[in-house]
Amino acid sequence: MESFQQVHGVAVPLDRPNVDTDQIIPKQYLKSIARSGFGPNLFDDWRYLDPGDVGDDHGKRRLNPDFVLNHEHYRGAQVLLARDNFGCGSSREHAPWALLDYGIRCIIAPSFADIFYGNCFKNGILPVALAAAEVDQLFAEVAAAPGCKIAVDLPAQTVTAPAGEVFRFTVDAALKERLLNGLDDIGLTLQHRGEIEKFEARRKAEAPWVFN
């Protein structure tokens, strides 16, 4: 997995609450059996005026000029500014895959849905929850100077607004460590193979029906 240290990048503002994973990556693209290539279909229904499907040449589709991701200012954005409950709905990991493939490394919002939040950490994306007033301020600064950059520092746990104000954020210590080092979760867990085997043997003795 890709590690995450710092990002200093253009922030694109997506000003609506409860953005669900069906919007982040619509269902037809979930038929792919690959982990990559979802970037052109990030926010597909909002981003294009015409419908798309797997295998289409998305470069030839009509872009929706009103959708924020298509605005010239936000080209190459690495930071997504969002509202409450970002990533709600389906557990599809295709959502962080699409964000990462597009180039987004950090999402800042007042709150996130649980499954999506966890999925980000497995894919080198840092979700940052800030207070609603702080997120409001970032939206206002980005609106005042579209294309401005936000700096996010995971070791220091800070977000630096375009105008220079610094906001601190909290992150679970274990998730932070794994993201900083891009660690392989499965390898770490298998270091405890003996304990898992012991637990499993006890469970089998106590609740044999579980192993039917």
Partner 1 sequence: MSTPRTLYDKLWDSHVVRVDHDGSALLYVDRQLVHEVTSPQAFEGLRLAGRRVWRAGASLAVPDHNVPTTGRGGGVAGIADPVSRIQVETLDRNCAEFGITEFTMNDSRQGIVHVIGPEQGATMPGMTIVCGDSHTSTHGALGALAFGIGTSEVEHVLATQCLRMKKSRNMRVTVSGATGPGVGAKDIILAVIAQIGTAGATGCTVEYAGDAIRALSMEGRFTVCNMSIEAGARAGIIAVDQTTIDYVRGRPFAPRGAVWESAANAWRELVSDEGAVFDHEVAVDAAAIKPQVSWGTSPEMTVPVDGVVPDPAFEADPVRRQSMAAALRYMDLRAGEAIAGIGLDKVFIGSCTNGRIEDLRAAADQVRGRRVAGSIRLAMVVPGSGLVKKQAEEEGLDRVFTEAGFEWREPGCSMCLAMNADRLAPGERCASTSNRNFEGRQGRGGRTHLVSPVMAAAAAVAGHFVDTSAEG
Enumerate binding residues for partner 1 (CB under 8 A): 15-18, 20, 22-23, 26-28, 30-35, 45, 51, 54-55, 83-85, 88-93, 96, 111, 113-115, 118-119, 122-123, 172-174, 177, 185-186, 188-190, 192, 195-196, 199-200, 203, 207-212
What would the DSSP string read from start to end of 114-172? HHHHHHHHTTT-EEEE--HHHHHHHHHHHHHSTT-EEEEETTTTEEE-TTS-EEE----
Specify the residue, 165 or 200, whose C-beta has the smaller distance to partner 1. 200
Specify the residue, 14 or 79, whose C-beta has the smaller distance to partner 1. 14
CB 207 to partner 1: min, Å: 7
CB 137 to partner 1: min, Å: 14
- Cβ–Cβ contacts within 10 Å for residue 197, how many? 10
Specify the residue, 89 or 147, whose C-beta has the smaller distance to partner 1. 89
Cα angle 138, 75, 30; round to 5? 95
Taking the CA atoms of the chain, what radius of gyration do you get in angstroms?
A: 19
CB 11 to partner 1: min, Å: 18
Judge contact between 25 and 104, C-beta under 8 A: no
CB 212 to partner 1: min, Å: 5
Specify the residue, 27 or 75, whose C-beta has the smaller distance to partner 1. 27
Judge contact between 135 and 141, C-beta under 8 A: no
